[in-house]
Amino acid sequence: MFCKNCGRELKDDAKFCDNCGAKVVFKHANNDDDENEKPECDGKVTIAFVLGISSLAVWTLPVIGLPISIIGLVLGVKSNKVKLHTAAIILNIIGLVLSISLCFAGSFWGYLSYKSIL
C-alpha cells in the first residue's frame, strides 16, 4: 500500500508514513475493530503458496528446500484464511517432509558408504 499524502510505499503494518509522517488510513478503517473484518487475500498467503510450490520443485536440494518450506509454512500459518491458505500450508508441509526425508536418506546413505569404505 502507498501513503495517501505523498505516495511513498508503506510497510503493511505501518501506522504512520515514514516519509511525511501522515497517519496511514486503511481501506477498511473501522476504529481498529478487527473482529468483523472479512479475511482478505494478503501478500503473505501468495508468497507462502509460491514458496510451497518452490519447495516442491527444489526438495531434492534440502539445503534450499528446507528453509523455503519452513518460511512458506510460517507465512502460510500466519496469513489470512483465504482459499490459498490451506493449499499453501499443505504444499509447504509436503515440501518440508520431502526435504527432511531426503536429509535422512542422504545421511543414511552417506553412513552406509562410509561404513563400506572401512
25 binds Zn ion (CB under 5 A): no
Q: Among 9, 16, 20, 78, which residue sits at the site for Zn ion (rule: CB under 5 A)? A: 20
* Of positions 19, 30, 86, 107, contacts Zn ion by CB under 5 A: 19
Task: Assign 3 to helix, strand or coil.
Answer: coil
Question: CA-based angle 77:83:89, to the nearest 5?
Answer: 30
Query: According to CB under 5 A, which one of 6, 29, 61, 112 is a site residue for Zn ion?
Result: 6
- Give residues 62-91 in contact with Zn ion (rule: CB under 5 A): none
Please list, in sequence order, all residues whose beta carbon lies within 8 angstroms of the beta carbon of residue 106, skipping any fewer than 6 positions away. Answer: 62
Q: Does 112 bind Zn ion (CB under 5 A)?
A: no
Q: Confirm or reject binding of residue 30 to Zn ion (CB under 5 A).
A: no
Cβ of residue 3: shortest distance to Zn ion, in angstroms? 3
CB atoms under 10 Å from CB of 96, counted, come to: 21
Is residue 5 a contact point for Zn ion (CB under 5 A)?
yes
- Quote the DSSP letter at residue 61: S
Which among 16-24, 32-40, 79-87, 106-114 is the span making contact with Zn ion, rule CB under 5 A? 16-24
Q: Which of 36, 12, 40, 38 is nearest to 26 (CA)?
A: 12
Nearest partner of 103 among 73, 64, 54, judged by Cα:
64
Residues that bind Zn ion in the complex, under the rule CB under 5 A: 3, 5-6, 8, 17, 19-20, 22
